[in-house]
Chains A and B, each alone.
Chain A
Amino acid sequence: MYEVLLNNIKQKEVELTKTEQEKLKTFFIPKKIRKKQFLLQEGDVCLNTTFVEKGLLRSYSIDEKGNEHIVQFALEDWWIADIYSFFTGEPSSYSIEAMENSELLMINRNSYEDMLYSIPKMERFLRLLVQNSLIATQRRLSGKITLSAEENYRNLVAGCNNIVQRVPQHMIASYLGITPETLSRIRKQMSTGK
């Protein structure tokens, strides 16, 4: 139930002892969620940061016309939350929904602080996590500003082909901020080898 998380920590070269691993487990709420169930609804406070042991989720916002804009996907080994809402306690502007039956590990604000206090090695883990997340966010932002839709799609396929395989096309389009028609045209061009 905690294998993916423990492995994720190990990969960041943070070596936890057996005692620390057992201690770590006491801070997370194990939760199964079914496809199409919500983890967070817009307007609620995001109480937990969630690690995905198994499954696939997405976070999205809805504009005034009712269109969904996908902010993030999270599959196995990834974290998902409305970070702003989690740390400030302000209402969230995102919803988080399961796209597949998923197994999650959730940690709330208090447990998060307690964990960092009682397992100081996790500070290093969190620093690396935030560092990677910042890089990904910066890349996504600069991609959106400077690259063409096709380049952004190619980068997504190269970096996270897993997502492209498991997510419906219209949601990929929403994530890239393009229409499904544009995405379909890009895919066609790519398959004909242009």
Chain B
Amino acid sequence: MALKKTVAIIEANGEGIGFSIAKNLDSPDFRLLLLVPGFDNINNPYEEIKANRPGADIELVQCAVDACWEADIILLNVASPLEKEIVKKIKQVATGKIIIYIINETVSIFPNDDQMIYAINLKTVLPHSKIVTVYHSFSQNHQVGEKKETVKIDSENAEALQTVNLLLSAAGINVTVKQEKRSFSYE
């Protein structure tokens, strides 16, 4: 029996992948720590999660650093201005861990330039973490009139890529894995 992996979701609100995992994850292999800003509000996403998954191993946390310290996998789901601050804070507890960084491609066909630049920069800020980039996009099919969600993941670390694939799949998210071959890869 494999050990449960702890996933810190920073932050688990809104409609993003973080919240989607929190709400739909169906696997005994993962334990979730959710940072939900202002979670004592009436609009508490945690209530929705609890209703959806009554027996889940899931917990609300107040401190990003403590959650990441405890985690094996860190999912960064924060608005860009906050990112730099949070990354600075969690840097010292992120060594050797998997960092999931989400790029939302909803707005345009091409990923947001700032996000792309930051994804590249993240590797220099956290050189000792295993960074997995998640490209999240919606495309509109006008004939059928429905939105199609696409999630692609990419990392230099094959093992991290596999773990994140398992996590996302267990939350019912269809994933395309594209591991780019890089000359400086350690794999």
A: residues with CB less than 8 A from B are: 1, 25-26, 28-34, 38-41, 43-44, 103, 106, 108, 111
Contact of A32 among B66, B95, B128 (CB under 8 A): B66
The residue in chain A whose Cβ has the minimal distance to the Cβ of B96 is: A29
Complex-state Cα separation, A32 to B93, whole angstroms: 9
Q: Is the CB of A111 within 8 A of B96?
A: yes
Contact of B95 among A30, A33, A39, A44 (CB under 8 A): A30
Q: Could you say which residues of chain B place their CB within 8 Å of the CB of A29?
A: 95-97
Complex-state Cα separation, A56 to B97, whole angstroms: 23
Q: Could you say which residues of chain B place their CB within 8 Å of the CB of A31?
A: 69-70, 72
Complex-state Cα separation, A26 to B127, whole angstroms: 9
Q: Is the CB of A43 within 8 A of B1?
A: yes
Contact of B70 among A33, A38, A44 (CB under 8 A): A33
Q: Is the CB of A41 within 8 A of B95?
A: no
Contact of A41 among B1, B69, B127, B128 (CB under 8 A): B1
Which DSSP category, helix, strand, loop or mixed, fits chain A's interface?
strand
Restricting to B66-95, which residues have a CB under 8 Å from any CB of A? 66, 69-70, 72, 92-93, 95
Q: Could you say which residues of chain B place their CB within 8 Å of the CB of A1?
A: 92-93
Complex-state Cα separation, A44 to B3, whole angstroms: 8
Q: Could you say which residues of chain B place their CB within 8 Å of the CB of A26?
A: 95, 127-128
Complex-state Cα separation, A34 to B67, whole angstroms: 12
Complex-state Cα separation, A34 to B69, whole angstroms: 12
In the assembled complex, how far is the CB of residue B57 from the closest CB belonging to chain A, in whole angstroms? Answer: 11
Q: Is the CB of A28 within 8 A of B95?
A: yes
The residue in chain A whose Cβ has the minimal distance to the Cβ of B186 is: A110
Q: Could you say which residues of chain B place their CB within 8 Å of the CB of A40?
A: 3
Q: Is B107 an interface residue (CB 8 A)?
A: no
In the assembled complex, how far is the CB of residue B78 from the closest CB belonging to chain A, in whole angstroms? Answer: 21
Q: Is B117 an interface residue (CB 8 A)?
A: no
Complex-state Cα separation, A125 to B127, whole angstroms: 26
Q: Could you say which residues of chain B place their CB within 8 Å of the CB of A111?
A: 96
The residue in chain B whose Cβ has the minimal distance to the Cβ of A106 is: B96
Could you list 10 A-B pairs, sorted by A, with CB under 8 Å? A26-B95, A28-B96, A31-B70, A31-B72, A33-B70, A34-B70, A38-B3, A39-B3, A40-B3, A103-B69
In the assembled complex, how far is the CB of residue A41 from the closest CB belonging to chain B, in whole angstroms? Answer: 6
Which interface residue of B2, B69, B97, B127 has the most chain A CB atoms within 10 A? B69
In the assembled complex, how far is the CB of residue B121 from the closest CB belonging to chain A, in whole angstroms? Answer: 18
Q: Could you say which residues of chain A place their CB within 8 Å of the CB of B72?
A: 31
